[in-house]
Chain A
Amino acid sequence: MRRFFARNAPAYVFLLPWLIGFFLLALGPILASLYLSFTRYDMVNVPEWVGLDNYVYMFTRDRRFWKALDVTFTYVALAVPARLIMALGVAMLLDKGLRTIGLYRAIFYLPSLLGASIAIAILWRQLFAADGVVNQIMATFGIQGASWITNPNTSLYTLVILAMWQFGSPMLIFLAGLRGIPRDLYEAAEIDGTPRWRQFTRITLPLLAPVIFFNLVLQTIDAFKTFSSAFIISNGTGAPADSLLFYTVYLFNEAFKFFRMGYASALAWVLLIIIAVFTAVAFFTSKYWVHYENERD
């Protein structure tokens, strides 16, 4: 035991800041929110235990909860594939061995760095407004544009496009994955006269599967948690007509606008479970489509 400490003490000392941060700043609030989810708590008075009331109300009576799920699932279903396809496409273009690749990588990564920022959300609102740039461009081609952001039928798609544009981080991971595929496989395929498309489906995709899987899980979790862009573009309310009522926006409103901390905590735990289920399903199904190079089948 003493030896264990003697050997590992330096490591623990270095880990200490993170450990303290985790236990004080993350674990504490996480457990507190679990407790709060069974209470009625308005941030001023003492939390009052209500058992499962919050959860029962959520599933049986709260129409906005279902609306929020609808919006969020639609977004995840559209934004994740869109972003991954975009990321893979750009990664393959950049994998051609350009000399200025470092520059391009940086340029393409830039939107992802800016993506979470308030400025981009505001910019997006301007772009897709009734008299925004998008409509002005369309007008030059004689197409009458709509007010994309304020129309409940189109507002969500503007956010999907925003998500697509922020393909930077999965793109970098794809790029690393593509670099790891042995070149001689392609050379052999060339010699055999395999068409490009078949090279892609038979070599690139299978060998990239672990990376695709990794990106898929990460991006799905990310998409479920989308907040700042939706919050800014919908003025914090999910407007117009709840078409941008992302789950996190709804949660924020319940917590900080209507002071229902207990209910908001319950919402947070349901979101956690949803994300956990999705991740678990991804991991479970992965053994059927993801193969790792060091495995033998």
Chain B
Amino acid sequence: MTKLTRRSMLGAMGAAAAASAFSAIPAWAADRSIRHFWWGNPERDKRTFAVIDVFQKANPAIEVSGETIGWGDYWTKMATQTAGRNMADLVQMDYRFLFEYVRRGALLPLDEHIGKSLMIADFDQGPLEGGKVDGKLYALNIGSNSQVMVHNTRVFQEAGIDADLINWTWDDFAKACETITAKTNGAVKGSDDLSLMIETFESWVRQNGREFYDADGKVTATVDDVASYWQFWADLREKGAVRDADKTVILDPPIAESGIAVGDTAMSHYWSNQLVGIQAVAKDKIGAAMVPHKAGGKPGQFIKPSMFMSLSRDAKDTDAAMAYMNAWVNDPETTAILGLERGIPCSPKVRAALAPNLTEVEKMSVDYFEAIQSRVGPLPLPAPKGAGEVRDAFMRVGTDVVLGNAQAADAATAFIEEAQSIVERAQ
């Protein structure tokens, strides 16, 4: 027989009190809650949390919690949450990873909500297409962007560069680099060295009339493509017309460390939705140029969805999640806060509403977008599994070329072999 002691009695009372307290919690917390997870930067986080506040005010019954982290750690955290069946209800998605996550069954299609809780009938169809996998919409475009050669307008003017920055060629680019370096006595190099920038290299391959990957996900870029690309930059490096190798081999540096921000180069490569962020850290006024073209070549650059919002498999309250998603692309107050920070919105109504209030740099990015329309190629197929690893390999093998430890041609052979085996293994 158990003896009732003073201590056990107190314990039981404490437990009872605790239990009653817990049951009381839902009475003053919101009944419904959703989580939104995105990769960000300080500016984007500020705007997104402001949007959450707006939604919260309009829908007091739904509690939204925002989670954010930098791009580098985002995919690690996402993979861990996916494995643990604990994904946020709404996740920010990237074109590069979309197929991978759909194939793993981590995302839900949005088709059944269109016209009911997701109003996107009047949106541009082209940018929406990018979010489809096997004919179903798995990811809602929340902004489009394209590559851009950001340049320092003051240095360009002082060096007397008068090339047509939308239609220019790689030759024009190389000449501009040399002129700028010479005119400034090397204080400002012509450009960042883009040897390790696979995004620019992908344009280079397309200009040669090929895609990096074919429809089956095989590597179709050739050794010649890689060798000629690395050689192009090696020649500029030899002339001292691009940034020092020491700085080039620092991979994926933050915007504030790029040549255009530090002021030691006149050009850097970025995505057009980053223009606002770069202007914020650059001393001089920046301008937007296209990735140079190959004389007589095909269009290399393309317009792509910069970010998507997707509904995850682990979403519990899909109605609440869809209401939030719909507000993101339609609600005037919300879209005004978001502006162009995530890219150009694909709703014509939203664009028209934003137009009168654009800042100078935002206006430049819209103008740039208009100007490149006729010079870009079609959106490439989404990259196959393993594409992220191929990107790493490109930077790793390229580092040896940049540091002069390997010849462009030899390294190109090694890279293509490695890329092929990475993709093969990832399937």
Is A152 in contact with B83, judged by CB distance below 8 angstroms? no
Tell me if A44 is interfacial: C-beta within 8 Å of chain B.
yes
CA separation between A34 and B405, bound complex, in Å?
40
Residues of A within 8 A of B388 (CB): 257-258
> A44 to chain B: which residues have CB within 8 Å?
82-83, 104-106
A45 within 8 A of B: yes
Q: Which residues of A contact B334 (CB under 8 A)?
A: none
Contact yes or no, B83 A241, CB < 8 A: no
Set A45, A150, A257, A259: member contacting B250, Cβ < 8 A: A150
Whether A241 contacts B403 by the Cβ 8 Å rule is yes
Given the known interface contacts A42-B104, A235-B251, the answer about A259 and B396 at a Cβ–Cβ threshold of 8 Å is no
CA distance A238 to B249 in the complex (A): 12
Count chain A CB atoms within 10 A of each CB in B251, B252, B388 and give the residue with the most. B251
Q: Which residues of B contact A256 (CB under 8 A)?
A: 76, 79-80
How far does the alpha carbon of A241 sit from the alpha carbon of B105 in the complex, in Å? 35
Candidates B79, B244, B386, B403; contact of A240 at CB < 8 Å? B403
- Contact between chains at A241 and B405 (CB < 8 Å): yes
Question: Which A residues from 225 to 247 make CB contacts under 8 A with B?
Answer: 235-242
Which one of A150, A237, A257 has the highest number of Cβ atoms from chain B below 10 Å of its Cβ? A150
Whether the Cβ atoms of A240 and B105 lie closer than 8 Å is no
**Which residues from B are CB-within-8-Å of A240?**
249, 399, 403
Say yes or no: A239 contacts B389, CB within 8 Å.
no
B79 touches A43 (CB 8 A): yes
Q: What residue of chain A has the Cβ atom nearest to residue B250's Cβ?
A: A150
Interface extent on B, as a size class?
20 to 34
Cβ contacts under 8 Å, A238 to chain B: 396
The 8 A CB mask of A118-158 against B (1 = contact, 0 = none) is: 00000000000010000000000000000100111000000
Q: Which residues from 106 to 144 on chain B have a C-beta closer than 8 Å to any C-beta of chain A?
A: 106
CB nearest to A130 among chain B residues: B246
**B170 interface hit (Cβ, 8 Å):** no
For the complex, would chain A's binding face be called helix, strand, loop or mixed by DSSP majority? Answer: loop
| Contact call B246/A147, Cβ cutoff below 8 A | yes
Which B-chain residue is minimally distant from A252 (CB atoms)?
B76
- The interface bits of chain B over 377-401 (1 if a CB of A lies within 8 angstroms of the residue's CB, else 0) are 0000000001011001001110110
Q: What residue of chain B has the Cβ atom nearest to residue A238's Cβ? A: B396
B396 touches A242 (CB 8 A): yes
Q: How far is the CA of A142 from the CA of B76 in the complex (A)?
A: 45
Tell me whether A237 and B76 are in contact (CB under 8 A).
no
Q: Which residues B363-389 have CB closer than 8 A to chain A?
A: 386, 388-389
Asked if B76 and A257 make an inter-chain contact with CB atoms under 8 angstroms apart, the answer reads: yes
**B82, A241: Cβ atoms under 8 Å?**
no
CB of A122 to closest CB in B, whole Å: 13
For B397, list chain A residues within 8 Å (CB).
241
Q: Which of A43, A130, A147, A242 contacts B83 (CB 8 A)?
A: A43
B250 cross-chain contacts in A, Cβ below 8 A: 150, 235
Question: B247 contacts the other chain (Cβ, under 8 Å)?
Answer: yes
Evaluate contact between B249 and A150: CB separation under 8 angstroms.
Answer: yes
Residue of A whose beta carbon sits closest to that of B246? A147
Within 8 A of A (CB), among B220-257: 244, 246-247, 249-252
C-alpha gap A43/B83 in the complex (Å): 5
Known: A152-B400, A239-B396, A241-B396. 13 other contacts (CB 8 A): A44-B82, A44-B105, A130-B246, A147-B246, A150-B247, A150-B249, A151-B246, A235-B252, A237-B251, A239-B395, A241-B397, A256-B80, A257-B388
Interface residues of B (CB under 8 A from A): 72, 75-76, 79-80, 82-83, 104-106, 244, 246-247, 249-252, 386, 388-389, 392, 395-397, 399-400, 403, 405, 421, 426
